[in-house]
Structure 1
Amino acid sequence: MMSRRFMIDAHLDLAMNAIEWNRDLTQPLAGIRQREMHMKDKPDRGRGTVCLPELRKGRIGLVVATQLARVTPSGSPLPGWHSPQQAWAMTQAQLAWYREMETLGEMVQITDTATLDTHLALWNNNDIPDEEKAIGYILSLEGADSLVNISYLHKAHAYGLRALGLSHFGPGRYAPGTKMAGPLTAAGKELLREMGQLNIILDVTHLTDEGFDQAMDLYEGPVWASHHNVRKLVPTQRQLTDDQIRRLAERDAVIGGMLDCWALDIRFIDTVSDPWQLDIKLSHLADHWDHICQLTGSSRHIAIGSDLDGIFGTEQAPWDLQSIADLQQFESLLSGRGYSEEDIDNIFHQNWLRVIRRAFR
C-alpha cells in the first residue's frame, strides 16, 4: 500500500507550466495530457507529471513554487526576455496565476510561522480528505534577472517572496549561471546584502563555482540548494562538489534532490536518450542521497526538490515515475536501504521545515 507520509517538494515551476505551457493544473493529469497529445511545440507535450490533484494524491501538501523569467542579452541563443521590465511583467503574470489558485481554494500562500503552522495542522487533520485540502506554496524566484533594480526585491518580498536564486542558465544580470563561469556581478553582491536585511532564503542552485563560493562567503542568512545532485556521480558543473556539500552542511542547509535524468546519470543526453533504455529509476536519486549522507554523517541535509515538469516530462524523468504522486515510492525505497523512520521523515519534510522556520523567525 502506498505510504501516506506528508511530503514537501522544494522546487516546482507551477506558474511557468500554467502560463507559458498553458496547462490548467486544476485538472486531472490524464486530461492535461490528452489536450496536448497533438501539440508539437515542446518536447514534453502530453508527458507532464504535475498537477494539483496529483500533488494531493501524493500528499505533497507544501511546495516551493517558482516565478521564473530570464533576461537574455543580444546574441544569446537562450530563450528569454529582452528587457528586465518584460521579465518582471512575466513574473507578475505568474503571481496572478497563484493568486487565482488561492481564490479557487486550490492553493494557499505560506509567508510566516503562523500560516505555516495553520497549514501543517490542516494536512495533519485526518478528518478532512486530502482531496479537499489546499496545496501550500512558498514563493521563490528562480534567477533574479526580473528584479529591475534592488527596490523590486522589496516589492516582491511584500507580496510574499521568501526564497531567491541569483542565477539560472547562461549569463545573468546578478550572477552567471549554469554552463557559465565567473563571479557574481556588483549588483548581485548588493542584492545579497539587501536579501540579508529581509532574511530571504538564498538558493545557491545554478550558481557557478566561483559564484557559489562568493555567495556563501557574503551571505549570512538562511541558505539552501533547492534542486541539486552530486558532482561525484554526475561530473558536470551543474551538480555540487563534495566541498560545496560540506560547506552547505556546515550552514545546516538542505539539498533538494532533482529528478531530471541528466542530473541523475551522466549517460543521459537531452532529447536523445531514453530513461527506460538506460534503466534510470528513482533509485538513482537515492544513490545521490547516500553519497551526501555518507559525506555529512546524517540525513539532515537531503530532501526533495524534484523540478518535475521543469521543461521536461516523462521523456526525461525516471521510467518508474509517471506522476509526481509516485514520489511516495521513496518511502519503501529508502527503508530498503536501511534509512530509519526518522531519516525518511527528515527527507520527506522535516529538513525543509527546519530551514523554513529559521527563515520565518
Structure 2
Amino acid sequence: MLIVDAHLDLSMNALEWNRDLTQPLAEINARENGLTDKPDRGKAVVSLPELRRGNVGLVVATQIARYVAPDNPLPGWHSPDQAWAQTQGQLAWYKAMEQAGEMVQINNLQSLQKHLDLWVDETPSEKKPIGYILSLEGADSILSMQHLDQAYEDGLRAVGPAHYGPGRYAQGTDATGFMGSKGHELLRHMEKLNIILDATHLCDDSFWEALNHFNGAVWASHNNCRALVNHNRQYSDEQIKALIERGAVIGGAMDAWMLIPNWERGKSDPKNSNCNLDTVIDHIDHICQLAGNCLHVGIGSDLDGAFGREQCPYDLETIADLQKLDGLLALRGYSSTDIENILHGNWIRFLKNTWK
C-alpha cells in the first residue's frame, strides 16, 4: 500500500549528519562505524532506497535551522542570517536530488496527481522518484516576509512557526509564551500565500494564539497524545479536538520518548520498554476515538530526526517496516478503508482540499 510520511528531516541528515541518502542503508550505517559525535551513529533507518522498498512514495521533507540567542543553551545558529543560509543549503540538496532523478518536488494539485498516478502504476517502485512537499520546521530562518515569498517560490508549502525553545515568531516545545505581533505578521503572510500552518512543536500559549489568528489550512505533521505520554511536546485532548474541528490531520510520530511514558534518553531500550509499532497505533487510536472516525490521523514518523534504532519501535528496522502498520491496524479492527486513510488517504485528501 502507498504510504505518505508527513515528517522526515532528509536534508538535515544529508548535510548535518553527512549521510548520502541515495545509498543502501547498510552502507550509510557502515560508513558511520566508530563515530560517536551523535548518539544515533550507525543506527539510521531512513534512505531513499528504503523509502522505495516500503512504498513510501510521498513525504513531507523539512528544512530546519534554529536561531539561538546568546542566553539560549540549545544548539543552533548564532544569527538569523546563518539560519537562512543553512536552509538554502538544504534547499540546494533537494534540488540536487531532483536533478539526479531521486526526488521530485510536489507543490500543487497537478504535480500531486501526476505523482500519485506514477506510484499506483505497475512499474517497480525502485525506479520511481520520491515525491517531497517542502516544509520549514521552525520559522527562525525567515528573515522577512520577502524571504517567505522567495521560499514559497522555491516550493515551501508548510511552516511550523517554532521548534524547541523560544523562537523569533513563536514559542516551541519546553518554552512558554505567546507569538506577538511578529508571529501574527508571519501567520497573515502564510495565509495570503496559502501556506499550511504546522501546529507541531507550538507551546500551549502559542498553539491557541496561532489557531485564533490563522484562518488557513492547519495540520500537525508529527504529534502524539499527552493523555498517553504526559509532556508538553504532546497535545492534550482539548488541543487535538480543536485541530479536528479545523479539519487537520495529525501524524503519528515514532520517537520512543513520545510513544511511551518514562523513557530515558540514552538509558531506556525499545525492546525492554516494550516500545513497538503497536504503541504508535495506541496514539493513532486515541485520536480516532476523540474524532469519532479515522479521518484525522496519518503517519508523520520523524524517523532519523536526531535519533535512530536506539530510540524507535523495536520492530522497525528500517522505514520500509512502516508497511507492517497495515496488518497491525487490521488486527485492531480497522477496516481496509480506514487503513488506507491512515496510511495515505487523509494526507492526500487534505492536500487536495488545500490546493484546489
Q: Which TM class, normalised by the smaller chain length?
A: over 0.9
SS in 1 for 2:294: coil
Q: How far did 1:359 drift?
A: 2.1
The answer (yes or no) to whether the contact 1:170–1:179 under 8 Å persists in 2 is yes
- What residue number does 2:250 align with? 255
- What residue number does 1:61 align with? 57
Cα offsets for 1:200-245 (capped at 9, x unmatched): 0000000011111111111111100000000000010010110111
SS in 2 for 1:356: helix
Unaligned runs of 5+ in 2: none
SS in 1 for 2:321: helix
- Does the alignment pair 1:42 with 2:38? yes
> What is the rounded CA distance, in whole Å, between the counterparts of 1:37 and 1:111 in structure 2?
37
- What residue number does 1:180 align with? 175
SS in 1 for 2:172: coil
Q: How does 1:145-294 map to 2 (within 5 A)?
A: 145-294=140-289
- What residue number does 2:335 align with? 340
The answer (yes or no) to whether the contact 1:200–1:359 under 8 Å persists in 2 is no
Report the count of equivalent residues: 356
> What is the rounded CA distance, in whole Å, between the counterparts of 1:256 and 1:52 in structure 2?
20
Identity %: 56
Q: How far did 1:75 drift?
A: 2.0
TM-score (norm 2): 0.99
> Partner amino acid for 1:229?
N
SS in 2 for 1:60: coil
SS in 2 for 1:136: strand
Q: How far did 1:270 drift?
A: 1.3
Q: Which runs of 4+ in 1 moved over 6 A?
A: none
- What residue number does 1:90 align with? 86
Q: How does 1:97-116 map to 2 (within 5 A)?
A: 97-116=93-112
- What residue number does 1:330 align with? 325
Q: How far did 1:358 drift?
A: 2.0
> What is the rounded CA distance, in whole Å, between the counterparts of 1:191 and 1:332 in structure 2?
42
- Does the alignment pair 1:76 with 2:51? no
Match of 1:305 among 287, 300, 303: 300
> What is the rounded CA distance, in whole Å, between the counterparts of 2:164 and 2:300 in structure 1?
18
Cα offsets for 1:261-314 (capped at 9, x unmatched): 000011211122111111111100111111111111000011000000000000
> What is the rounded CA distance, in whole Å, between the counterparts of 2:17 and 2:355 in structure 1?
32
The answer (yes or no) to whether the contact 1:173–1:185 under 8 Å persists in 2 is no
SS in 1 for 2:298: strand
Cα offsets for 1:174-195 (capped at 9, x unmatched): 0010001111132111100000
> What is the rounded CA distance, in whole Å, between the counterparts of 2:292 and 2:178 in structure 1?
31
Match of 1:11 among 7, 10, 13: 7
- Does the alignment pair 1:317 with 2:299? no
Match of 2:128 among 128, 133, 137: 133
> What is the rounded CA distance, in whole Å, between the counterparts of 2:275 and 2:154 in structure 1?
39
TM-score (norm 1): 0.98
SS in 1 for 2:57: strand
The answer (yes or no) to whether the contact 1:18–1:24 under 8 Å persists in 2 is yes
